Amino acid sequence: LTHRFGDDWKKSLLLPAKDNRVKTSDVTATKGNEFEDYCLKRELLMGIFEMGWEKPSPIQEESIPIALSGRDILARAKNGTGKSGAYLIPLLERIDIKKDHIQAIVIVPTRELALQVSQISIQISKHLGGVKVMATTGGTNLRDDIMRLDEEVHVVIATPGRILDLIKKGIAKVNKVQMMVMDEADKLLSQDFVVIIEDIIGFLSKNRQILLYSATFPISVQKFMAKHLQKPYEINLMEELTLKGITQYYAYVTERQKVHCLNTLFSRLQINQSIIFCNSTQRVELLAKKITQLGCSCFYIHAKMMQEYRNRVFHDFRNGLCRNLVSTGRFGHLGLAINLITAEDRFNLKTIEDQLMTDIKPIPGSIDKSLYVAEFHSRPPKPIH
């Protein structure tokens, strides 16, 4: 890029439509810093602004300068508060494109999150002139990964099992990795993944930097911190586990009344898009079929589907091609959450309230539209990551 003086370079930016949605204190309670305060490369700033990120969120204000200094971080933050940007911005700033080896790895628990984080990385690094980002997850063709890693790759975003497989095969060489990020670390350090994570760390340099982000701090996270993090900078921006922008209600129904209750909600609420969660893959497909029979467009997605098809469904739903999605997973977004529970679920509801430190109220006769109806734009604003 040719050198520009002053703020003239900002005039050439392709900025998205301004996001006029109401923001909660999860993202607005900042110290008033600007992204330019962190002495970032101008090319990286261009990508940040073109993502629609105007100012750093609280978790970004706390994380970015510390991560740039090379210090380990243990951060407690919710999804939807700018967490991905909190680690991707310093990660990309520290990449040296003159070096043709893997310099950073981001480990996440799910394929969907890996794809989401890689898309953000590619977007904000697009002006950096050659930063190579690669996503690799289980369920995809290993041969494709081998071919990509045979070429230049600077950043790998991966699920635990796949990256360990590539490391053990000698395909992904991580001995020169300077930064490792663990997003949703409480899940990564569960019994399903903790042995894999320990194996991965064994292949890294002793001088690596570890950034660990988690919504909760179970004993597994505390043990990991004590064993692997060196004098970590601790960040805790959470007074409660639920996003402040989410209003939660419950409705007591019998099992047979749930579809009828959904139909009532569809007719009484002005819902642009909804995600409906089930606790089994069988229920997902059955419910999606019943919703379609009600005359509502509906996609479904679950772990037993082919990865290529899941990616397609996820992409199409995000682009607004369908109004309803039935899923077994959870997504972190602002809006309205309504739980349909039977009498047998009452104890579970109380347990959830205690764990989340929140109060879930019975669904009222009418619901304020401002809780879930966003202001529309000709070009939809990008979600905060």
pLDDT digits over 73-89, tens only? 999 877 777 889 999 99
Last residue of a domain, one of 236, 258, 291: 236
217 burial via Cβ count (<10 Å: 0-12, 13-18, 19+)? middle
Does residue 33 sit in the same domain as residue 167? Answer: yes
Does residue 111 sit in the same domain as residue 226? Answer: yes
On whether residue 154 sits in a domain, the answer given is yes
Res. 293: pLDDT tops 90: no
On whether residue 2 sits in a domain, the answer given is no
Q: What is the pLDDT of residue 253?
A: 81
Phi-psi region of 6 (alpha: psi -120 to 50; beta: other; left: phi over 0): left
Does residue 166 sit in the same domain as residue 265? Answer: no
Last residue of a domain, one of 236, 264, 289: 236
Q: What is the pLDDT of residue 29?
A: 58
β-sheet with 361-362: strand ranges across: 335-341, 246-252, 361-362
Does residue 199 sit in the same domain as residue 251? Answer: no
- Which of 287, 272, 295 minimizes the C-alpha distance to 328? 287
Res. 244: pLDDT tops 80: no
Q: What is the pLDDT of residue 333?
A: 43
pLDDT digits over 166-225, tens only? 999 999 999 999 999 999 998 899 888 999 999 999 999 999 999 999 877 778 888 899
Tally of CB atoms within 10 A around 125? 27
Res. 44: pLDDT tops 90: yes
C-alpha distance from residue 88 to each of 40, 173, 180, 220 (Å):
12, 21, 11, 24
On whether residue 184 sits in a domain, the answer given is yes
- Which of 235, 105, 121, 110 minimizes the C-alpha distance to 182? 105
β-sheet with 298-301: strand ranges across: 274-277, 324-327, 298-301
On whether residue 71 sits in a domain, the answer given is yes
pLDDT digits over 101-160, tens only? 999 999 999 888 898 899 999 999 999 988 999 999 988 888 899 999 999 999 999 999
Which residue do the tokens 């690596």 mark? 208
Does residue 219 sit in the same domain as residue 277? Answer: no
Tally of CB atoms within 10 A around 285? 16
Q: What CATH number has the domain bearing residue 31?
A: 3.40.50.300
More confident residue, 378 or 125: 125
Reduced to 3 states (helix: H, G, I; strand: E, B; else coil), residue 90 is helix
On whether residue 105 sits in a domain, the answer given is yes
248 strand-pairing partners: 337
On whether residue 54 sits in a domain, the answer given is yes
- Token duo for residue 184: 């949703």
Q: Which residues are CB-neighbours of 118 under 8 A, at least 6 positions away?
A: 133, 134, 135, 157
Does residue 159 sit in the same domain as residue 269? Answer: no
For residue 28, name the pLDDT band (cuts at 50, 70, 90): low
On whether residue 103 sits in a domain, the answer given is yes
Does residue 47 sit in the same domain as residue 81? Answer: yes
pLDDT digits over 303-336, tens only? 677 767 777 887 788 777 888 888 875 444 445 6
Res. 365: pLDDT tops 90: no
Does residue 340 sit in the same domain as residue 301? Answer: yes
Does residue 257 sit in the same domain as residue 230? Answer: no
Last residue of a domain, one of 236, 259, 281: 236
At CA 51, angle to CA 47 and CA 56, rounded to 5? 90
pLDDT digits over 253-290, tens only? 888 888 888 888 888 887 777 888 887 778 888 888 88
- Which of 62, 111, 109 minimizes the C-alpha distance to 85? 62
Residue 75 contacts residue 63 (beta carbons within 8 Å)? yes
| C-alpha–C-alpha distance, residues 369 and 271, integer Å | 9
Res. 67: pLDDT tops 80: yes
Expressed as residue numbers, the domain containing 335 is 246-371
Residue 4 contacts residue 46 (beta carbons within 8 Å)? no
| C-alpha–C-alpha distance, residues 127 and 31, integer Å | 28
- Which of 21, 17, 11 minimizes the C-alpha distance to 333? 21
Computed over every residue of the chain, the mean pLDDT equals 82
Question: Half-sphere exposure of residue 326, counting CA atoms within 13 Å on the CB side?
Answer: 22
Does residue 49 sit in the same domain as residue 191? Answer: yes
Q: What is the pLDDT of residue 371?
A: 60
Does residue 202 sit in the same domain as residue 290? Answer: no
Tally of CB atoms within 10 A around 145? 24
Does residue 282 sit in the same domain as residue 162? Answer: no
Rg (CA), the chain: 22
How many domains is the chain built from?
Answer: 2
More confident residue, 90 or 262: 90
Tally of CB atoms within 10 A around 294? 14
- Crossing angle, helix 42-50 and helix 83-93, to 10 degrees? 160
On whether residue 385 sits in a domain, the answer given is no
Q: Which residues are CB-neighbours of 133 under 8 A, at least 6 positions away?
A: 118, 121, 122, 125, 153, 154, 155, 157
Q: Which residues are CB-neighbours of 229 under 8 A, at least 6 positions away?
A: 72, 74, 210, 212
Q: What is the pLDDT of residue 385?
A: 43
